[in-house]
A = this chain, B = another copy of it.
């Protein structure tokens, strides 16, 4: 991304499993937005989205780019015949949906950036949030699912496909026999700690769980194992944890983060010598500065990055 395109007017589409958040603007301080439910009719949802972007363009002026941040799995390989598609999504109605093509047909002359929702949120935090100025950090979201994005050497990590951090495997707390909720892996990180996992384990939504409920002790322990693992695999300068579960309802966000920080230190047991993992751990494991806007801001950044 060249700096000259940083503050230009672009459109943003954050395609989530529950809702599409659309925006036009130049950054977090300048966003007009709207939302549409992710109904089981992709063609209709996508024309609601493009109609709205067209209206905004009439009001605010020509969009210089459009960024699309979508739930996956996605085809991100530019040479591929299905580039820009949502591919094998568990949301059946959205399988094999050409989301980039639908936008390009309406805006043929506007460059389009496309990435996963969690990669976009990572980019948003890198540009305007708690990842600003860092060369290496990880953004994790814990909500309906668990996902993670990484900035490595200042660039988004893509690799073979894209990371699927929520599906990593972690040790069990002795005596915990909860089978997990992941249809692919049962008790992977997502299977143990996503919002639906907390609900299935406790019968309560995360927002309703009493602070002393065992589900919080277990979730923070498993999250700490996974964070310790991502520290050992990726050596980030910071780990940002977003998503709805991290708000931690009656337990409170700060208490939730403090439990995770302490348990990460116990898991690593002083092996990696760095102030960031020891006396400065309060600045190492943090919530997103952009809060719930990390994704839509990331889509803005994707749109700006798409400008040649």
Q: Check if A169 sits within 8 Å of B229, measured CB to CB.
A: yes
Confirm or deny: A251 has a beta carbon within 8 angstroms of a beta carbon on chain B: no
Cβ < 8 Å to B, chain A residues 133-189: 135-136, 148, 150, 152-153, 155, 157-172, 184-185
Confirm or deny: A199 has a beta carbon within 8 angstroms of a beta carbon on chain B: no
Residues of B within 8 A of A269 (CB): 184-185
Q: Check if A136 sits within 8 Å of B164, measured CB to CB.
A: no
Q: Check if B276 sits within 8 Å of A164, measured CB to CB.
A: no
Chain A interface bracket (under 10, 10 to 19, 20 to 34, 35 or more): 35 or more
A97 to chain B, nearest CB (A): 14
Residues of B within 8 A of A208 (CB): none
Q: Which of B164, B270, B274 makes the CB contact (< 8 A) with A232?
A: B164
Binds B, one of A25-33, A233-241, A292-300: A233-241
17 contacts between A and B (CB under 8 A): A88-B271, A135-B159, A153-B155, A160-B235, A160-B236, A160-B237, A160-B274, A160-B276, A163-B232, A163-B235, A164-B231, A165-B232, A167-B268, A169-B170, A169-B228, A184-B270, A185-B271
